[in-house]
Structure 1
Amino acid sequence: MGALSKRAAGAALMNENIMLFACPICATQMQVREQGSLVCTANHSFDVAKQGYVNMMTHAATSKYSKELFESRKAIIESGIYDLLEEKIADKIAGAKTVLDTGCGEGSHLARIMTQLDGAIGVGIDIAKEGILTAARHYSEQIWCVGDLAKSPYAETSFDAILNILSPANYGEFKRLLTPGGCIVKVVPQSGYLQELRAQLYADSEKETYSNAQTVERFKESFAEVSIDRLTYTMPLAIELIPALLEMTPMGWHKTEDTEVALTEITIDLDILVGKI
């Protein structure tokens, strides 16, 4: 028998982990039908796409993020710039068996973190279909869903670890989805994050400096037990990766044609927040 199609393989992986899912419309249990659909007890149905992901959006949504942005993000992450971050996250969630990455984009962080965990399943959700398409195309060992955290397609207390890496959060939903004893890992920029790029694009403006104080304070208010680790390091940046870096970060979107960006290194400066209920 030949290899399974991506659609069949994706559906099979969802079926193996069907207990994680709940209908985003009525919150009832789901099952995978043979033809490759997730169907709830009230017969709401969501087809698995030929690329192996499932679209569980309950309303139309548009995203400002393009296929090119996600491919650029993948190239930057695979260059190893975020390796230390991924190692730190894997260490913090060691022992987790179910991991959800919220706002996963093209899935590179999740896929790389999951290689460092034994016997765990990774699930990525993003509202941007182009990101999930890219994730499904490149990383078939994880489950990928187009979906909205405000109407998420997952069952209560399903995930031992929930990741939120440089992405908007929904703390109410995170708490609903977290298993007892599980943790939320949120990554936010610190003042030196991509400082070389910020200095060139925002020189002598208020945007040249950055503070995450408000975001950190809200996180502290949301969880009973919180730890914060700062991770700071500088990495060499290959000249051919500069366009990808500009494409993947909102800072680069405002670059004018006559602005030359010359980088030989880039600083990663992040706060890793870990919260427990």
Structure 2
Amino acid sequence: MSKRTDGARRAARIEHALKCPVCGNPIRVEEDGRLLCRDHHSFDFAKQGYVNVLTRPAGGHYNKELFEARRRIMLDSGLYAPFHEAAAEWIRQMPVSDSRPAVVADIGCGEGTHLHRILEKLGGLNVAGAGLDIAKEGVQLAARDFQSAVWLVGDLAQSPFSDGSIHAILNILSPSNYDEFTRMLAPGGRLIKVVPGAGYLRELREALYTDERRTYSNEDTIGLFDRHFRRTETVPLRYSVRLERSQLEDLVRMTPLSWSPDPEAVNRFLDRESAEITVELDLLVGEPRD
């Protein structure tokens, strides 16, 4: 079976959760490997197994090198392993039907490792994963290596997910659209938004900057979440991971923190055999207020 055909097969499992991003009508997964709505808007699966549902060109700062670095560090170092376990444990507590699979959607999925790892830990449950990102380079990597989910290149503002169709939304260190999240969530569904804490990657911030970027506050982000969603739980994660030199290089490549500092500061940070790196994350779990 080709990746294109396999991608369409996985999409057929969540056909009930998909809509046309152009007209909003229900969408059908065709056997020839495309999505088609009744107004004949059509989106073909690529040979890698993903489908591009963007309705207009999109640009961004994230490139293939960044996504490859993020992939390596997540697979090799366990940098986010405690988060993957915590997210899976929370989703595992949700009621899941024996018939139609519950859909877990990672909005801003990047190269797909977060969703892939979480779905691995949910093995045995009747769940299906869907990853959406506007960056084609990231989704291509996800589809190339992970056959665990439906991978879509798309815009959250014109998402391909139907009203009330998503049981759990993951929004991991990524921008939010709370109106869309509210529309997409199924009754009883939850949003799991992951925000960095003040100590997140503290060692990197302190090494690269001498101004206000050395510190970070998530108060505004949490305040915006609380204005739109009723927070039902907060899961704080605080731990550190020792990274080797090559992993530190990938850490620098994968984060926007390294886009603008003095190159000499980057070189000084990397001039070490290993370093202890702080991970501080808050998992905000919530339900729509409306």
TM-score, length of structure 2 as denominator length:
0.91
Match of 2:284 in 1: 273
Q: How many residues matched?
A: 273
Structure 2: which 5+ runs fail to align? 97-101
Question: Pairwise CA RMSD of aligned residues?
Answer: 1.1
Task: State whether residues 245 and 252 of structure 1, in contact with CA within 8 Å, keep that contact through their aligned partners in structure 2.
Answer: no
Match of 1:250 in 2: 256
- Alignment partner for residue 138 of structure 1, among 128, 145, 153? 145
Which amino acid in 2 is paired with 1:93? I
* % identity of equivalent residues: 46
Deviations 1:174-203 (A, max 9, x none): 011101111000000110000011110013
Which amino acid in 1 is paired with 2:279? I
- Alignment partner for residue 73 of structure 1, among 59, 70, 75? 70
Moved more, 211-220 or 257-266: 257-266
Which amino acid in 2 is paired with 1:229? V
**Using the alignment, how far apart are the partners of 2:46 and 2:30 within structure 1?**
13
Match of 1:128 in 2: 135
- Alignment partner for residue 200 of structure 2, among 169, 193, 198? 193
Q: Does 1:28 align with 2:25?
A: yes
Q: Does 1:89 align with 2:99?
A: no
Structure 1: which 5+ runs fail to align? none
Shift in Å at residue 16 of structure 1? 2.4
Task: State whether residues 127 and 147 of structure 1, in contact with CA within 8 Å, keep that contact through their aligned partners in structure 2.
Answer: yes
- Alignment partner for residue 109 of structure 2, among 92, 104, 109? 104
**Using the alignment, how far apart are the partners of 2:188 and 2:281 within structure 1?**
25
Which amino acid in 2 is paired with 1:211? S
**Using the alignment, how far apart are the partners of 2:230 and 2:66 within structure 1?**
36
**Using the alignment, how far apart are the partners of 2:198 and 2:52 within structure 1?**
36
Which amino acid in 1 is paired with 2:40? N
| Segments ≥4 residues shifted beyond 4 Å | none
**Using the alignment, how far apart are the partners of 2:150 and 2:48 within structure 1?**
11
Shift in Å at residue 207 of structure 1? 1.1
